[in-house]
Chains A and B, each alone.
Chain A
């Protein structure tokens, strides 16, 4: 049995560490998508949190109305969100592509309000329960702490998807198009690549990540129209800390800040809610382009 560390019982320490990792999983999945979207579209996507919520709601609706369970939902919900993303990009974002980024911010902020308003109108704010799949219920006693299976799954799934996304962008041919088009879209198009389609695909894939995160979150938190707006502010702070446009930076910062937040809950709980913003302020002072950002 591990002895108390600095007077903190290991149960509490590891429990909070796990919680930090869980939060970090969501920070990473969401900030990754935001970073990709910003890099390619120069849009600060304020609707990202709302689309995360839509992912969770699609899973819940599939279960309620069609009896479709968690595992199919994990695939279907991101696809539905991606389709919604295609619609948003093709009908709205494409029209403001050449304008000041402020327009994109305002547009997506408005979209987030509309989407959340629609779900609040139909489903209220009380939250809907969504059970974890039977295969992921229960947990394991590791001796120093109790590990709920579902939470372990969330961390693993998020890590795998984040690393998969990183691999797709940094190590594949399609990813090289994406990186190149982020730098010089006109030149990439002059090479014969359909950049507008690539932009749509990028936006769809990035919001699909948010939808995926929403399904992962559904069994842990209640499915609630406001679940995204609570999260997205912290995620923006994570993106600022990691640096806009860096893929690995977004992932590492996401998990790292989740852990920092968890540890703060153990050692100085009063600061847990603001620690990420304190880190953000310090990073902005010392390295304004973010920890992994390019100057």
Chain B
């Protein structure tokens, strides 16, 4: 589905990514884990062409997308849930939900999305940012399910949320996996990540330094704790 090779990335003069490499197969849920500032968010942004400069290779279903303009990359079928959730204050909940254009056939219908997130339907006339943090996170995920994007990039969807909401988001991700979505997840909450992902890529200093399958987690726990500095 997605193959990233020798990816370097810059913000202005600062060199953030130093040759990131990883692959995701169709239907997988994969995490990027690592300490703060190792380049996880930057990697997601590089896939979307949002850095000042990025080099290397990013192939989506075999097609090179590095170098394309951001909106064209998105139209190849990538949905993005940004770290700050990206809810628009000047739009209602429903306008937020309907904002991303449909880029491929096969997305969920609006009714199906409301079926997954009944709370959003109740509050569809409210201002987007009047929702609670958890509801905003749901909205941020919900709105990219309509578009037909099959690869979802999620940047810390559990950050700052109550445990019960984190659980809900976990079951939503499991449901999306059942529906065949491919998901690349940036996570700090390792407990959460181990509950939803197939594999974990560990990042350090702008590089992927290790890959741990989810079923090897227990065996590799000590090594992992070193990586994460916990």
> How far is A173 from B96 in the complex, measured between Cα atoms in Å?
11
Count how many chain A residues have C-beta atoms less than 8 Å from C-beta atoms of the other chain: 18
Count of B interface residues, CB-CB < 8 Å? 24
Instruction: Flag if A183 contacts B74 (CB, 8 Å).
Output: no
Q: How many A-B residue pairs have CB under 8 A?
A: 58
User: Which of B71, B82, B88 contacts A192 (CB under 8 A)?
Assistant: B71
Q: What is the CB-to-nearest-CB distance from B228 to chain A, in angstroms, rounded to a whole number?
A: 28
Instruction: List chain B residues, Cβ under 8 A from A186.
Output: 50, 70
Question: Which residues 62-119 in B have Cβ within 8 Å of A in the complex?
Answer: 69-75, 80, 82, 86, 88-91, 95, 98-101, 103
Q: Is the CB of B80 within 8 A of A191?
A: yes
How many angstroms from the CA of A209 to the CA of B100 in the assembled complex?
A: 28
Q: Does B202 contact A (CB under 8 A)?
A: no
For residue B82, which residues in chain A have a CB less than 8 angstroms away from its CB?
187, 190
Chain B residues whose C-beta falls within 8 Å of the C-beta of A193 in the assembled complex: 71, 101
Measured between alpha carbons, how far is A292 from B103 in the docked complex, in Å? Answer: 36
A123 to B95, CA, bound (A): 49
The residue that A180 contacts in the complex, of B50, B74, B88, B147, with Cβ under 8 A, is: B88
Does B91 lie within 8 Å of A176, measured CB to CB?
yes
- Given the complex, which residues of A lie within 8 Å of B103, measured CB to CB? 192
From the candidates B50, B74, B91, B95, name the one contacting A191 in the complex (CB within 8 A): B74
Smallest CB-CB separation from A178: which chain B residue? B90
In the complex, are the beta carbons of B88 and A177 less than 8 A apart?
no
Q: Are B80 and A187 in contact (CB under 8 A)?
A: yes
| Shortest beta-carbon distance from B141 to chain A in Å | 13
A171 CA to B86 CA, complexed, in Å? 21
Interface flag for A31 (CB, 8 Å) = no
B99 near A180 with CB under 8 A, answer yes
Task: Identify which of B48, B88, B90, B98 contacts A190 (C-beta below 8 A).
Answer: B48
Which A residues are closer than 8 A to B by beta carbons? Answer: 173, 176-177, 179-180, 182-184, 186-195
* Partner-A contacts on B (CB < 8 A): 48, 50, 69-75, 80, 82, 86, 88-91, 95, 98-101, 103, 144, 147
